[in-house]
A and B are shown apart, each in its own frame.
Chain A
């Protein structure tokens, strides 16, 4: 086994939902930072508004690496052009659940669902497919979700 294979960098994609819930961008940047510290390379997938918010929040690109359109991401994993070790799906509405189910069905992997917003429990209850749920009532204040992420992320990176 070559040195390159032993130290193959892991990759994660953060699939952003509609940015109408304020905590999304902050948590995304925090998660990128946390994953980077664990040696995981990150890619952002989202619609134009979600991507732009992340890019404007990190103009020097200290945290944000590759950014891609959410439809292109779905297309590339469906056609097995791209593969990621971890799929973090940001969910605060029904559409987010649909995207998470789609990623899980296409990849067969256990996706990580970050569930937040006013109705986080109701949304979490809609998820019946294999999934690691990280859920908190976080709308404007990111701390409840950040704290949950801090608890679970070491396990996620080690076990998924």
Chain B
């Protein structure tokens, strides 16, 4: 997972589909943004079928992370600066 692997993360869903991750974020997070594939999060280009939803719980970021052999993980990572950067740079805000 590169630099994401070195962060303190929590896995919410394992071997999920991209639609399961999007549905979880949209139904569970009071705040979320939609981004396009290739959007950078923790210095990695996000993989997925657009629109890709990224959720927030304060400084906690909830986002899908896809690996070829392991499918998609839905992850939680707390990072104030990255959460603020995503909020500012994501084009479409929801809720």
Tell me the A residues contacting B by CB distance below 8 Å: 16-18, 20, 46-47, 49-50, 70-71, 74-75, 78, 93-99, 101-102, 105-106, 129
Contact = CB atoms under 8 A, between A and B. Distances in A.
Contacts of A20: 69
Contacts, number: 67
Given A71-B44, A78-B45, A101-B49, A95 B37 contact: no
What band does the interface of chain B fall in when counting residues whose beta carbon is under 8 Å from A?
Answer: 20 to 34
B37 A101 contact: yes
Given A20-B69, A70-B68, A94-B71, A99 B47 contact: yes
Contacts of A98: 18, 37, 47-49, 66, 72
B36 interface: yes
Given A74-B45, A97-B18, A105-B50, A49 B69 contact: yes
29 contacts: A16-B68, A18-B69, A18-B70, A47-B67, A49-B69, A71-B2, A74-B45, A78-B38, A94-B17, A94-B18, A94-B71, A94-B72, A95-B67, A95-B68, A95-B69, A95-B70, A95-B72, A96-B68, A97-B18, A98-B48, A98-B66, A98-B72, A101-B37, A101-B49, A102-B47, A102-B48, A105-B38, A105-B50, A129-B49
